[in-house]
Amino acid sequence: MLAAVVAVVGMNAITSRYERTITREQLLAPAARQPRTDLSDGLNYLLVGTDRQGATDGPDQRSDTILIVHVPPGMRQGYLISIPRDLLVAIPPGGNGYGGGQDKINSAYEHGGGGPGGARLLSATLTRLTGIRFDGAALVDFAGFKQVIDLLGGIRMCVDTEVRSIHTRTLFTPGCQQMDGARALDYVRQRYDLPGGDFDRQRHQQQMLRAVLDKAGETNLRGDPVKADRVLRAVGGSLTLDTNGVPVEDLVMALRSLPADALSGLQVPSYPQTIDEISYVVLDNGGAGLFDAVRGERVPGWAEANPRWVTRL
């Protein structure tokens, strides 16, 4: 997200002043880290989003959003692969004293202690599940990200099914509409009373990220240095980043040719199942070859062969 906004503003902004606004941490477990990132080989990034990072009680430390961002070689396409938050997985032992066990994947963040430790345990869990190693990771504070959307003047979101927020009681009616940060983030957190449940929530989160990229491209940030400064600071302030040793300016340069309309959303083939009176999501045939496609750089072909799991953004 920072790369996209900076690409709109220009490279000079990031090389000094704005890079210092980003918090740097080791977010990837050793087993989940790609030994060396070569930008010509494409990228696999882990994106973990939560708007409750400061919470101290266990349940409120669970990750709200888990995305694998896959960019094939050439940097002309991008795929947002949403991991179901209730996916049943084997979580390895964590550095926070957790001994490991079967649980929902979003609880790995909690078992790791939240923050960077939670991201490391989550990354180890994903690598054990998928075999994918990551070139980097970002921990996004979506509560702080509200400011980014507001500074951009809001984003356009298209509501497909009427739903009432369980958090604010706001009623979202069908149709395309302008949303400020609080309203957009409230909408993309909803999953109850939607026909697809968490799958709809995943799709809405993907659509929100695309809408932010679209708005950043439409907004005249180059012609308004004051707004550009505020947006970049807000984006940087909402991120904790692990670039696997790659300078941020090199990452920005590699991704600047990736247009927002080249993004596709993918859902992991899976289905809901109740086990011991607990609702989980389980993989459909091991993910129906999606993870193999990511590792083998065959995602475009997989998406064409599996349109059911492709999200229109």
To the nearest whole number, what is the mean pLDDT of the chain? Answer: 85
The pTM of this model reads 0.85
User: What gap in Å lies between CA 203 and CA 198, rounded to an integer?
Assistant: 9
Please report whether residue 290 resides in a domain: yes
pLDDT band at 223 (very low <50, low <70, confident <90, very high): low
Instruction: Say which residue, 61 or 137, is predicted with more confidence.
Output: 137
* CB < 8 Å & 24+ apart, contacts of 11-16: 11/249, 11/252, 11/253, 13/228, 13/232, 14/232, 14/248, 14/249, 14/252, 15/249
The residues near 195 (Cβ < 8 Å, ≥ 6 apart) are 161
Domain total in the chain = 1
Please report whether residue 162 resides in a domain: no
7-61 per-position pLDDT tens digit: 555 555 555 566 677 788 999 999 999 998 988 888 999 999 886 544 444 444 5
Structural domain range at position 274: 2-142+223-232+239-311
5-20 per-position pLDDT tens digit: 555 555 555 555 666 7
Evaluate whether 81 touches 294 at the Cβ level (below 8 Å).
yes
264-295 per-position pLDDT tens digit: 999 999 999 999 999 999 999 999 999 999 99
How confident is the model at residue 3, as a pLDDT? Answer: 56
Please report whether residue 264 resides in a domain: yes
Please report whether residue 155 resides in a domain: no
Q: Where are the beta strands (DSSP E) in 11-165?
A: 23-24, 43-50, 65-71, 78-82, 88-91, 101-104, 136-141, 155-159, 163-164
Q: Residue 291: which CATH number?
A: 3.30.420.590
**Mean pLDDT within 201-217:** 85
